[in-house]
Chain A
């Protein structure tokens, strides 16, 4: 929740977000199959809307995602599974994308 609010505020203050990288349990923020009680904040959906509306690149770490059942259609087909659980706004890739973001950004901000 803090990461989402921080990212939103950063954009509204005119900062550029190079990439959002979901790592470890963070990949669950990109789970399209989360069902959230109606009177609660739907964080995965909020992330998806935010990332799509602002055209922000986002990546879920491949090893973190697969272990937690967060699969895009490519991975789902490869594993011969029926479903897709990753938000369309997010790609699956490796840690190289996190290193790349670290090197190309002024700051790396992480939320544990």
Chain B
């Protein structure tokens, strides 16, 4: 099967819109087709990673479980934009899953070296 490098950029907070889920589902579907996948959290998207969330109180599904499925589907490159974390006063210890934190220049390179960038 044809293989491409796909970078999924998720930018929206976990609740309120379903964009976070749309990006995640697209990435997981691509993983089934054995593509090279980068999953990159930018802007408010980093809030999806904050640990110990419980969305039952707002009658929603907690994103934490979806994050764990990334690994189950073999998506190893889970990346976070350092600037977005810093702007929101978050650090690596606040996050629910292991990630790789990227500097601005590395974020640019990831996008530049991907065949396709999906940005939602």
Contacts and interface: CB of A to CB of B under 8 A. Distances in A.
Interface of A: 23-24, 63-64, 94-96, 98-100, 102-104, 107-108, 110, 112
Q: Give chain B's interface residue range (CB within 8 Å of chain A).
A: 10 to 19
Contacts of B32: 96, 99
Contact of B30 (A64, A94, A102): A102
A96 B2 contact: no
A110 B120 contact: yes
B108 to A, nearest CB: 19
A102 B6 contact: yes
Q: Which of A94, A95, A98, A100 has the most CB of B within 10 A?
A: A95
Interface string B1-44: 11010100000000000110010011001101101000000000
Contacts of A112: 19, 119-120
B2 A103 contact: yes
Contacts of B4: 102-103
A107 B4 CA distance: 12
B116 interface: yes
Given A108-B116, A112-B120, A98 B29 contact: yes
B118 interface: yes
A24 B29 contact: no
Contacts of B118: 102, 108, 110
